[in-house]
Amino acid sequence: MAHLKKNTRGSVPGLAVHFERKTDHHTNKEIDVAKTYLNQDLMTDGSDMLSRFNERLNDVYCMKRDDVKALATWIVTLPEELSEVPYEQQSAFFEATKQFLDDRYGQENAVAAVVHYDETTPHLHYAFVPVVFDAKKERYKVSAKEVLTRHDLQTFHDDLDQELKQALPFYEQGILNHKTLPFENVAEIKKYNDQFKALKEELANVEENISAKKALLKVTNEALTEVDLAEKQIDDFKQALSKNLFGKTVIKPDDLDRFKTVLANMKKAQLQSQRNAEQTSHELSKVKEQLTNIKADHQKLKEAHQQLQDSQQESQKIDYAMRDMLKSDYGVNSIKQSDVEARAVLYKLDHHELTKNKTEATSWLNALITARHDRETKIDHKRLDWGIDQVKALINRLVELARDLFKGMTR
């Protein structure tokens, strides 16, 4: 639902043109200019994005480098469940979202907050200068790295979700879904998507290689045709030698030797061209066979990809049912990320799905300890203590196994 991008100073003018619709010639074909009048500018100070940006940069320190990320932009899309609600409620959603972003990143740093209703799905463009206080130099500075930390990004969706639920009575389902929770099948989907993309690129490269081989083969065939034509011209020339004037030859012997040399060179080139053509034809056959195999792998991957998507949809239904049960029957509106990670580890321990990787086992231990130290955790402390003991024992076994293996290698 929300997407973040970090931008350099050089990209700000172009972003301002898009956000504030300063042109009628849009490269984005999804923009319906007949609906542009519905767009909202939630910043009502009478200035524009570019002037606000320059004014804020004048107030803080920013390194004079072209690659400095001096502007951050969030795109927050209207949830699907609000697509049919009245315009007033959609507008209230975006205003509450802007208030959340102002509170999180500082209203004084905001340079744009524009809602676009003239594209496929209504969305908010929120732009701000990422500013922090430099305690050492006692001044404010631009630092996207220090503002948009990993923790900030990990908690963003959940914090926004809770804020909107408190601010908007009509907003119940929330923005969180399977895309923002650590379900394993989503990770698998991403893995297969990456493999799918890699295979498509490989397929394109192979097809390009085939086209190049065909072009080379065509050139070789044309060269052979030229050789045949040259040989015919030489034969015609030989016949012309029999013609003489008053019994005298009309061409010098040196010219004949020169043409013989040309003929020999062209025959040599013909043989080389024939060899190249045979090699190209052989390589072309191999590439075609490779293409057939890649297409077969590509089809298998598509089928696996479809199966995973079907499984994902089924998991999404179960996820919704579980969330509805938790909210309606037990009054639980959200689950903390640390609890989700700890419960995932406990599930694997309960079902004896033990890892053989010490690094992964250590991450399990950290997840359980984090949940154990959290006073707000909903997981029974005895269960967490049991899990911590189990993972510690697992790590000890992995260490002993590695030690025994090392001893066996050194004997």
Asked if 137 and 204 sit in the same domain, the reply is no
Question: What distances in angstroms separate CA 384 from CA 116, 361, 388, one per listed residue?
Answer: 47, 15, 6
Query: Of 126, 147, 176, which residue constitutes the final position of a domain?
Result: 176
User: What average pLDDT does the structure give for the chain?
Assistant: 80
Beta strand 248-249 with 40-41 is unpaired
DSSP 109: G
How many structural domains is the chain composed of? 3
pLDDT for 294:
79
| Chain-centroid distance, C-alpha 136 | 37
- Residue 339: closest CA among 294, 305, 379: 379
Structure tokens at 384: 């967490």
Asked if 252 and 293 sit in the same domain, the reply is yes
CATH of the domain at 223: 1.10.287
pLDDT for 181:
39
Asked if 283 and 191 sit in the same domain, the reply is yes
309-367: per-residue pLDDT in tens?
A: 787 778 777 777 877 787 788 777 777 888 889 999 999 999 999 998 999 999 999 99
Contact, 69 vs 6, CB < 8 A? yes
Evaluate whether residue 323 is within a structural domain: no
Asked if 11 and 159 sit in the same domain, the reply is yes
- Residue 102: closest CA among 14, 163, 22: 163
Asked if 308 and 371 sit in the same domain, the reply is no
Sign of CA dihedral 402, 406, 407, 409: positive
Evaluate whether residue 319 is within a structural domain: no
Containing structural domain, residue 49:
2-176
* Residue predicted with more confidence, 411 or 90: 90
The model's pTM: 0.45
Question: What distances in angstroms separate CA 46 from CA 18, 43, 51, 190, 291, one per listed residue?
Answer: 18, 8, 11, 44, 60
Q: Distance between CA 22 and CA 9 in Å, rounded?
A: 19
Evaluate whether residue 330 is within a structural domain: no
Asked if 282 and 365 sit in the same domain, the reply is no
DSSP 6: E
